[in-house]
Amino acid sequence: MTRALSLLIPLLAACGQEFDVHAFEAELEITPEVTDLGVVAAGSTTDFTIQAVHIDGDDVDIQAVEVLNIEGDAFSFVGELPTVEVDAIADLELSFQPQELGYHWAEVTVVSDALEDAITVMVRGQAAEAAASFFPARLDFGPVDLAETAVAEFTLSNDGQVTVQLVGIEFDRPPFRAVSGLPLQVPAGQQVAVQLSFTAADSARTIGTAWLELDVAGIELEPLALVANDCEMGDASLYDADSDGYAACGTDCDDDTATTHPGAEEWYDGVDQDCDGIVDEGTEGYDDDGDGYTELDGDCNDGDAAVYPGAPEDYTNGIDDDCDGAVDSNFADLDNDGYAPEGGDCDDTDPRVNPGQAETADGIDNDCDGVIDEGTTYYDDDGDGVTELAGDCDDTDASTYPGAPELADWSDNDCDGRVDEGTTNADDDHDGYTEVGGDCNDGDATVNPSVLETVGDGIDNDCDGVAQ
């Protein structure tokens, strides 16, 4: 019964009048019946409201808001107890502060002086892990000219189970600032690119730090390092103008030409392609041996300082010292093979014989090394007394020749076309087993590990070491 009605009834009774009085009690509704806060980060605070809606009658006083946590202990009432005036709506403030992962729910009972003095609704939510990271840890803006602005970006990754927002970025140096609009939302399991800019006040190396502010408590990110105009320590690819893999502040002596860098091939063009401080070395236009002549000048051996056009001829070394095209040219070369006796020709009457000749199987010392027919079929190269012409099937192995003892070495030592015959490696009785393979009598095909034992013959037929 309302206060106005309780005062009216005694007054009417005092007047001696009889009335049929119907009390109009106040009515209240609490909405919504179920409040679902969805997924929030564990350790965070989410404030929310439910509403007390006046339906009928006089003002309603909210006397208590009782929270009964059924699952977890995360919901609480944090507001004031209002009076809900006629035809009005009052907010009841609650808070969700989950510390443990998982689902949480509670019953909220609103106690008032309305006709229905206790109304219960449900609130619920899920607490999940929040985690984030960014890459790279050091953001390099590269070379930036005076008053110019460069933009670089890093990737912010949401490694947790709840949506996070990048709500702010704090910088310790004014040349750096954010380009991407904030706040920037990152759904769970996704990543976004965040752009920052740098405006150069001069050409000096500039370093700074940025701190990322997220809307979720409990995520502590390391500071983001920022750098610009740092050729010595920065990302080499940003300071490599010609994209040849070498930066100008390093060892590239011409960062505008991709063919010029350490290790590049040197060309004869008056340019130091390999950045070693020497121009055209190793080319036909460079005097590599320091004798005063290049290959273009006629030096026929630019790796030997004693060989060049006009050099003194050494008539005993078999070399064209003066690059005139003839070896030891001041001595008589009777057979016109390019070598005189003073240059090592051991038979100056035969052009087939000189130090530069290949040895042939002709009974002559063609290359003037004092050995006749070495390396040919006429010569016994391995010294076993037999040449290839005499049947030596491997003239590099002194243990191989016709009639040599056959060895168990998987080679045809006696040159008969068979390998290892008569040794433990060979199946001499052709029964499928060698002595190495367990044949205890390789001269008898009826004796091997696969044969059944014959009782009473006194022979170990199956090679098991027992004769029956």
Query: Within a domain: residue 419?
Result: no
Strand pairing report for 224-228 and 138-140? parallel
Whether the CB-CB separation of 95 and 75 falls below 8 Å is answered with yes
pLDDT for residue 329: 58
| HSE-CB for 214 with a 13 A CA cutoff | 26
How many domains, in total, are found in the chain?
3
Q: Specify burial of residue 451 (Cβ count, 10 A radius: 0-12, 13-18, 19+).
A: middle
Q: Can you give the pLDDT at residue 191?
A: 96
The answer to whether residue 396 is domain-embedded is: no
Q: Please identify, among 188, 221, 238, the residue that sits at the C-terminal boundary of a domain.
A: 238
Residue 387 domain-assigned (yes or no): no
Q: Are 395 and 383 in contact (CB under 8 A)?
A: no
Q: Which of 92, 111, 128 is the last residue of a domain?
A: 128
83 and 136 housed in the same domain: no
Q: Answer yes or no: do 155 and 196 share one domain.
A: yes
Whether 15 is covered by a domain: the verdict is no
**Would you say 288 and 300 are in contact if contact means Cβ atoms under 8 Å apart?**
no
- Peptide bond before residue 32 is cis, with ω within 30 degrees of 0: yes
Residue 220 sits in the same domain as residue 195: yes
Place of tokens 């507001």: 79
Q: What is the DSSP letter of 8?
A: H
Q: Is residue 319 part of a domain?
A: no
Do residue 113 and residue 139 come from a single domain? Answer: no
For residue 333, being part of any structural domain is answered with: no
The boundaries of the domain holding residue 435 are 427-468
- Statement to judge: residues 35 and 111 lie in one domain: yes
215 and 117, same domain (yes or no): no
Per-residue pLDDT, 219: 87
Q: With beta carbons less than 8 A apart as the criterion, state whether 12 and 5 touch.
A: no
**pLDDT, block means (10 residues), the chain with 468 residues:** 41 45 72 96 94 96 97 96 96 96 97 94 95 95 92 96 94 94 94 96 92 88 94 79 78 84 88 89 90 92 92 79 76 78 86 91 91 88 91 92 88 85 86 87 90 89 88
The confidence score (pLDDT) of residue 328 equals: 64
Looking at the fold, whether 138 and 85 belong to one and the same domain comes out as: no
- Going through 147-283 in order, the beta strands assigned E by DSSP cover 149-158, 164-171, 176-178, 184-186, 191-199, 206-214, 224-228
Residue 232 and residue 137 share a domain: yes
**Residue 267 belongs to some domain of the structure:** no
Q: What is the CATH number of the domain that holds 159?
A: 2.60.40.10
Same domain, 123 and 146: no
Pair (56, 154) in one structural domain: no
Last residue of a domain, one of 238, 264, 290: 238
Residue 106 and residue 48 in one domain? yes
Task: Judge whether 89 lies within some domain.
Answer: yes
* 253-268 burial code (b ≥16 CB/10 A, e <16): bbbeebebbeebebeb
Reported as a single tens digit per residue, the pLDDT across 16-34 is 444 433 335 899 999 999 9
The pLDDT tens digits of the residues spanning 198-237 come to 999 988 999 999 999 998 877 889 999 999 998 877 777 7
CA Rg, the chain, in Å? 52
Q: Judge whether 55 and 31 are in contact, CB under 8 Å.
A: no
